[in-house]
A and B are shown apart, each in its own frame.
Chain A
Amino acid sequence: MMANVFFYILAAFILYSALFVVSAHNLFRSAIGLIAVLLGVAGMYLLMDAQFLSAVQIMVYVGGIVVLIVFVVLLVADVTEKTFQKADRWRKLSAGFVLAVFFGITVWALDSHSFTSASQNAQAASVKDYGRALLSTEKEGFILPFEVISLVLVAALIGAITIAGQTQAPVNGQKELP
């Protein structure tokens, strides 16, 4: 019963913040709403016994990605969307209509399908299980995605530095002094 109450409170909190993210005219407020959404989702992970994921969500998302977004929002001069042309009412209405239909179809599909459990040994995954799964080379292991994701991260960070860190273009092919 208690978990149900927590679930509905969290769901209302997350959806309200998500509405804020997609509709606030001030980008900084959108970023604050995004923090609220991510914290709420971390709370949902806690409700589902995924403590490690909850901690990762807070550390990487709220502590890393959102801070990055806030930095860029503040670097890019005008925070308010006044200078941008806003989406017209027609576009908003049609997007809302399409998504309502999509949501209806999704709920119908979920409702008409009965999920059956495959495993019976109910035990939440511990940090040890995560470590074993990430580094195991056996059939259930995730060593290959783990290595690939590390390469992807390195490539993305080097690419980000290359794209954003470029200084003034050299004049007439002259090399810039360091």
Chain B
Amino acid sequence: MIGPTLSQYLVFSALLFCFGLYGMLTRRNLIAMLMSVELILNAAALNFVAFHHFLYEGDVGGAVFPVFIIAVAAAESAIALAIIIALFRHKNQLDVQDADSLKN
């Protein structure tokens, strides 16, 4: 069979995961970090679908799980954006290094 293989998809999603993690490590804005988390979640979901498609085609579990990932991502971004708005009201900026009111 000619076409992309399983390992091509896996390497690609590892690369996407690394990009998301790079964003998490280097960005200092909360919204930008949230977007990086979305990249990471997408890489994970892509892995689920790749394994489903190439190895467990008759088993629907690998195709259903990305739906849960998407639902969790929706809940997570709703909460995170609410926190961002509250933080912006409180401090008037979104730098994670300065959001340390609960320290000390």
| Residues of A participating in the B interface, judged by any CB pair closer than 8 Å | 1, 3-4, 7, 11, 14-15, 18-19, 21-22, 27, 30-31, 34, 37-38, 41, 44-45, 47-50, 52-53, 56-57, 60-61, 64-65, 68-69, 71-73, 75-77, 81, 83-87, 91-92, 95-96, 98-100, 102-103, 106-107, 110-111, 115-125, 129-130, 132-134, 140, 142, 145, 149, 152-153, 155-157, 159-161, 163-164, 166
Contact = CB atoms under 8 A, between A and B. Distances in A.
Contacts of A98: 25
A14 B16 contact: yes
A29 to B, nearest CB: 11
A166 B86 CA distance: 8
Nearest to B43: A41
Contact of B6 (A100, A103, A115, A145): A115
Contacts, number: 239
B64 A142 contact: yes
B102 interface: no
A56 B31 contact: no
Nearest to A61: B70
A11 B46 CA distance: 12
Interface in B32-58: 32, 34-36, 38-39, 42, 45-46, 49-50, 52-58
